[in-house]
Structures are given as structure tokens and as C-alpha cells.
Amino acid sequence: MNQKRRNNTTGTDVLVQDPQLPPVAVEPAAVERAGRWTPAKIALWVAIALLGGVAWVVLAVVRGETVNAVWFVFAAVCTYLIGYRFYSKVIEKFLLKPNDVRATPAEYKADGKDYVATDRNVLFGHHFAAIAGAGPLVGPVLAAQMGYLPGTIWIIVGVVLAGAVQDYLVLFFSMRRGGRSLGQMAREELGVIGGTAALVATLLIMIIIVAILALVVVNALGESAWGVFSVSMTIPIALFMGCYLRFWRPGKVTEVSIIGFVLLIAAIIGGGMVAGTDWGSAFFHLDRTTIAWGIIIYGFIAAVLPVWLLLAPRDYLSTFMKIGTIVMLAVAIIVVRPEITVPAFSEFAGKENGPVFAGALFPFLFVTIACGALSGFHALISSGTTPKLIEKERQTRFIGYGGMLMESFVAIMALVAAVSIDRGIYFAMNASAASTGGTIEGAAAFVNSLGLTGVHLDPSTLAQTASDVGETTVVSRTGGAPTLAVGLSHIMHQLIGGTAMMSFWYHFAIMFEALFILTAVDAGTRVARFMLQDSIGNFVPRFKDTSWRVGSWLCTAVMVAGWGAILIMGVTDPLGGINTLFPLFGIANQLLASIALAVCLAIVAKRGSFKYLWMVALPLAFVAVVTITASFQKIFSPVPAVGYWAQHNAFQGALDAGKTEFGTAKTTAAMEAVVRNTTVQGTLSIIFVVLSIVVIIAALLVTWRAFRNGGGTSNEDPAVPSRIFAPAGFLATAEEKAIRAQWAGRPAGRTPARSGH
Amino acid sequence: MDAAATLAAGARAFTAYVQGVLGEDAYRKYLQHREATHCDEPLLTEREFWRDRMDRQDHNPQGRCC
């Protein structure tokens, strides 16, 4: 027996590796030594800190006419580097204490299929592709209403202290539990009530998130023949790729992704030609309600089709597009260096009646930007596939914390793209059709009436922008995606192709956002269906059988009906849709974050690390205050634009008084629609806030009990000594290289500690 | 190493990275695993392996982020 194990109350184990093997971990003393400061290192970090400091001063303090976009990049990257080098290391050293002598699930549960030790840099790309979607591209665009600075600060500071911490913690704790999901961990750590609340919240959040993402796509494709054509072409392209992989060349993933990418570009170019013809513009020019129904029907069919046919090929395409486009945008911003004319704080930073989204900076900025700063949804990914693929425990910092920093950088780039376009155009695109009337004259009159300094919008500017990007109109294209697409085409055409290419870049951006969102719609519906089947299965056991057609179709229909109803509600909402619904999306996402952090708080307390509990308590307290305040304002605010029930009562009162038009609702039917929609939105707000309070109280009780007992029982899998070695970070250190050299002579096949079979 | 060899090595590493992120090396890793464990289950062919991989996703869906 070459293994000694001693369990103590904190659940950490003292392991000894097989002496026959070269080291499986770098000695803690050597880690310390490698981290020792040398004059060169000090100089480097001083330089990074100075550059970051200067960038922040330029963004926040210097009040020029314009600010160059490159300062956003410097401020972000330097802050990320400092957060990663210092804060994440503090979390690693004092809170999580990963132990590379301990085998990860990818090693002790290795099965060659689900549990596979994966190279850290490959897994980083994999994890990043799984967490980054349309969210970080949309939220920052809407938040630009308040000027560039509030959003920038929240994205950068929020990720370092909250978002990346959440991702890192959830990934680590799930890894220590054999890759268990957030729902399972909530049940284990918080008990039945907390666990059930977490489950219900996750299910509702899935519905809300899918509905609002779909609404973003509908708004981007409405009345756009080009967009409808090219996005619908992704379906036959994906089907072709699916068959190619299934029947002709199994496993040739890169090959088929390249073919798919070429077809996708052809679909974008073809879309321009089709939209230019009479029949094309007549056939593909669809109103938003029709497109919404199209997505609902698509969502149902996609979620019941086998994965190989539609979802898997779409996944390959979107991974390919995601990484390619993000790299391209980063290069473009650094090369083009656009000048930003948007003020640091806009006129709406101190008001609560902004046309893009309603509500004051606190708390609504912090729910509008969820993904990119702190995204609860990531907790589902970090407790899904990634923990089953991690090779060594210490790699969780690079993958969990580092991966989230990358996503935050995407959000910063989206913000830069949004603030690089003219403010007049920005507000004309993002104000609801109820305000602009949907015409260029109406939009110009509305924007000019806002009293923004330095903004005078001429209707011809809007017509010119629309024709540049190959659309019939850009007025009231709410949802963030079209604004980002205009911003991206504004930046990219300066790099490649000139004005003639603007319409291509616009539709390229629309296409890749639609691609992410449709994948998320499909996958979200599937996950929600399985959760529903599992829950119903507790009462009607047959539902647990996921290969039972009737059950799975029924549950899919229920889920699609859930998000479909909210989608139709958003599309037909007389008040504008996005500006009333988007806060719900953010609140839902932040609520999930507070559940994830609450679970982490309970786990940390049970580990007995009370001295460092604040690292979890700080982001949890912040996100709890934000979501609860935002929900309370949505429920209790007397301002109709902010409070759902205030709006509800105002319209109900008008109906009772026999009025036939009220505010932006011009008919009795529209007024009744507002009454109905606000009931749904208000009820959801109440449910969200109640669930969130229940989960947080459950976590606080568990934490308090653990504090009184000096710790608690650990639900970690038993520790097994590792028999493999791999470096922890992006680059191998000198010690790691030396150890790798000792392993180099050995046969490639490794002997796992315990077979997975 | 001359420039051409460095470039070729770089291109190879890049291709391997892209394939890794997309998951193309899954079957190769499965074979490696089987070689190391010598268990009695019948070895899947490449075609069977990919079918099985896709079909397992049908029963174990994973969310994609927003």
C-alpha cells in the first residue's frame, strides 16, 4: 500500500503518490520559490500596473472631446492581468487549496468518453466557447445608454471580484465532486428546500433566457429579407454537416467545420443578392410576429430531433465562428483604434427613464450587464462538461478564472463597438417603436427631443446608415444585436473592404449572433425538458425514461410553450418588448449567480475556511442586494416605466375609466395586452425574488451552523492519488518543464488509479 | 531549425489546437484510454464511436451559454 489517507474535518486529504512514478505535482516549496519576486518581475508588474492606471485615468478622469478605444483595451487587459496574477492566486492559496497529488475525475473516473483528461490550453478554448455566447455581446450595448464608464467599470471590476470568482469556485467544487451539476450540489449542500428552490429557479431562468435571446433574434431579423435568408440557410447547412459526419466521414470535425464556414459566408453573400431581387425581398421580408412563430416551431422541432442532425453541427459552426470573430474584432479594434465620442456618463446615468432600458443606474446597470461581469448561467457550464475534462486540480484557476476574464474582454469589445457609433443613431436604433413610430422622421424627432448634448440627428443619416448596411430601416431595431452589428461593420470596414463591405460585415455579425442564439435556444429547451422530465418523474416514474417519445415530446412542448408565450408577448408588446423584458433576463441571470454563490458559501463554510469566507460573501452580498433591489423596484416602484404593477394599475385604471387609448397603446386591445403582459412580468418578478431569498437564507443557515460547529461534513468524492502530471498554467514553469522531462521517457499509456469500467 | 521548419511546426501545433477545441481527437483519446486499461468491453470502431458519442448527448444534454 503506497497510499496513506487521513481525513480531517475540512475534507482535505493528505495523499502520498506512488513512489515508482516521477513527481505528479510540483512541490509546494518549489511553487513558492517560482513565485518569488525578482527585480525583472517587479519591473514587469509595475509597468503593467502603471499602464493600467494611466488607461483608467484617461477613461475616467480626463475629459476630452473624444477618447480612443485603445484605452479600453489597456484598462481591461492590465486589470485582468493583475486580478489573475494576484487575486485569483490569493483565492487559490487560502480558499481552495488545490492539490495536484489528488487525481481529478478525468483521471479516476476515466472512461475515454465523458471523463477524459484534456490538455489545459485546449480545455481553455473549449470552456470559453461553452460560456461565451450572445449575452456579453448584448448587455453592454444596452448599458451604453448611460455612457461608457459605468458599464466599463462594472464589466472589469465585476469580473475580477465576482464573475471570475464564481466560475472558478463552481468549477473547483464540482470537480471535487466528480463533476456534479449545480442542482445536485444545491440539494446536497442546502437541503431539500434550498435545493428545490434552486431547481425551480433554474427551470424558470432557462425559460426566460431562451425567450429573451429569441426576442433579440426576432428584432434583428424583422423586416430584413437579407437576414432572414442567410440565417434560415444555417438550417440546411447544419443538416448537411450532420449527415456528412454521420454517414460519410465520421469524426472529421475540422474538415466539416471549414466546409460549413464557407457555406455560411456564401449564405451571407447570397442573402444580399436574394434580398436585391423582387421575389426575394417579397418572400423573405417577414414581420416580427411571423418570425417569432417560425422560431417557436423551429425550437420545438430542433429540440426533438437527434443531436447529431442539427445541434452538434451547429455547435461546431458556432465554436468556429465565435473564436474567429472575437479574435478578428480584437485585432480590428487595436488596428483601427476608433475614437469614442460618447460621454463617460450620459444624461441618462442619473435618471430612470432612459429609452433603451428603464430604471436607475443602481441597480439596473448591474442586471442589464450580466454576462461579461457576472453570469449565473456559467455556473451550469462550470458544473457540466468542463470539470470532467480537467487534468490537474491547479489548472482550475487558469480555466475557470481565466476563461471568465476572456469573456469579460468580449463584453468590453462589444461595449467599444456600441459606443463607437454615433449617439443619435444609437438611440434611434434602441428606442422602442412606440417612441419612434418606426419611421426615420419620427426617430429623428424623438432623439432630438431627448436633449442630448452634441446630438442632432437628421432623418437622412438614418436612411444612409440603413442603406450602408443593406437594410430597409435601422429605426427601433432594439435588442442590442443590430446595434452591435452596426458598430462591428463600422470598425471592420475601416480594416477590410471599405464602405462597400459594410453591409457584408453587418450581416456577418447578425449571422453569428443568430447562430449562437439558435444553438442556445435548442440546447436550453433540451436541458429544461430533461429537468422537467426528471421532476415529473418523481411522481410519474415513466417520465424519467428519456427515450420515451410521448414524455419527451410533451415536456418539450411545455417548455417551448413557456418561452414561446413570453417571446410572443415581447414581440407584440405595445410598450416595446426589450426595454420592459430585458431587466427580467438580467435579474434571472443574476439570481442564478446568487444561487451558485450561495452554494459556494455553504461549501466554503463546511470546509471551515471562515477567515476567507468574505471572498465568496462579498460577491454574494453584492449580487443579492442588486437582484433583490431590482426585483423590489420592478414590483413596488410607483413609476410606471420601472414598476410592472404600477404600469399594470395605470393601464387597468385607464381601461376602467373607459379610455380607448393610453400612453403608447392606441387601442383598447393594446391596453389589454399591456395589462396582461405586466401581470406576467410582475408575477415572474415576485417568484424570482422569493426564490432568491429562500436560497440565500438556506445558505446562510447552513453557513451559520457550520460556523458554530467549526466546519461540516464534506460531500467531496474520496481522494485518490494521481498518477499523471501536467503543468498548471498557460505556459509551463521551469520546475514543470523539469518534471515533464522525467515523464518523457515513459510509455504514453497511463495506468489510472481506478478503472472506469 | 530553419524558418520553414519552425513555420511548419507552428502550423501543426495550431491545427492540433483547433482540432482539440473542436473535439476531433476524441476517438484517438478513446483508443489511448482503451490501450491503457485493457478492459473487456468490445472496442468501438471509429464510426461506432462517433455515433455513440452523438447519441449519448441525446440523453445527457448540456446547456450553451447565453
For A485-496, the three-class secondary structure string (H helix, E strand, C coil) is HHHHHHHHHHHC
Minimal Cβ distance to B36: which of A252, A307, A750: A750
Is residue B8, in this structure, part of any structural domain at all? yes
Beta bridge partners of A704: none
Cell representation of residue A736: 514543470
Q: CB of B50 within 8 Å of any CB in chain A?
A: yes
Of A126, A384, A750, the CB nearest to B63: A384
Closest CA to A525 of A486, A483, A555, A566: A555
Task: Tell me which residue of A634, A607, A609 sits closest to A692, measured CA to CA.
Answer: A634
Mapped onto helix, strand or coil, the DSSP state of residue A255 is helix
Q: Give the separation between CA A714 and CA A698, rounded to whole angstroms.
A: 17
CB contact under 8 A, A307 and B19: no
* Angstrom distance (rounded) from CA A443 to CA A459: 8
Give A-chain residues touching B56 at CB under 8 angstroms.
Answer: 113-114
Report how far residue A344's alpha carbon sits from residue A336's, in angstroms, rounded to the nearest whole number. 21
- Closest CA–CA distance from residue B5 to any residue of chain A (Å): 22
Domain membership of residue B22 (yes or no) is yes
In a domain, B12, yes or no: yes
Tell me, yes or no, if A323 comes closer than 8 A to chain B by beta carbon. Answer: yes
Higher pLDDT among residues A235 and B35, named by residue: A235
In a 3-state reduction of DSSP, which class is residue A350? Answer: coil
Q: Is A749 on the interface with B (CB under 8 A)?
A: yes
How many structural domains comprise chain B? Answer: 1
In a domain, B65, yes or no: no
CA dist A725 and A286 (Å) reads 57
Strands A67-68 and A339-340, how do they pair?
A: antiparallel
Is A251 in Cβ contact with B46 (below 8 Å)?
A: yes
Strand partners, A662: A665
Q: What's the confidence (pLDDT) of residue B36?
A: 85
Residue A11 CA to residue A603 CA, distance in Å, equals 11
Tell me the average confidence (pLDDT) per consecutive run of 10 residues in chain A, 757 residues long: 37 74 91 88 97 96 88 97 97 96 95 93 94 91 95 97 97 96 93 89 90 94 94 96 95 94 96 93 93 96 93 90 88 93 93 90 94 92 93 97 96 95 95 91 96 92 95 93 95 91 95 92 92 90 88 95 95 85 90 94 94 96 95 94 93 93 88 93 93 93 94 93 94 93 74 44
Per-residue pLDDT at A214: 95
- In this prediction, residues B3-11 reach a mean pLDDT of 93
d(CA A580, CA A578): 5
Partners of residue A114 in chain B, C-beta under 8 Å: 56
The pLDDT value recorded for residue A3 is: 37
Per-residue confidence (pLDDT) for residue B62, from 0 to 100: 80
Which residues form the domain of B7?
Answer: 3-59
Asked if the structure places residue B55 within a domain, the reply is yes
- Report pLDDT for B1: 60
Residue A78 to residues A42, A84, A156, B51, Cα–Cα distance (Å): 15, 10, 10, 45
Q: Is B64 a member of any domain?
A: no
Q: Is residue B66 part of a domain?
A: no
Please give, rounded to a whole number of angstroms, the shortest distance from the CA of A202 to a CA of chain B. 12
Question: Is B43 contained in some domain?
Answer: yes
Long-range contacts made by residues A434-440, C-beta under 8 angstroms, separation at least 24? A434/A574, A434/A575, A434/A576, A434/A664, A435/A355, A435/A476, A435/A576, A435/A664, A436/A475, A436/A476, A438/A473, A438/A475, A438/A476, A439/A475, A440/A473, A440/A475
Instruction: Classify residue A21 by its DSSP letter.
Output: S
**A 23-82 residues inside an 8 A Cβ radius of B:** none
Contact B23 A380 (CB under 8 A): no
Using CB atoms, pick whichever of A122, A371, A755 lies closest to residue B37. Answer: A755
CB A443 within 8 A of CB A339: no
Q: Cβ contact (<8 Å) for A547 and B18?
A: no
CB atoms within 10 A of CB A445: 14
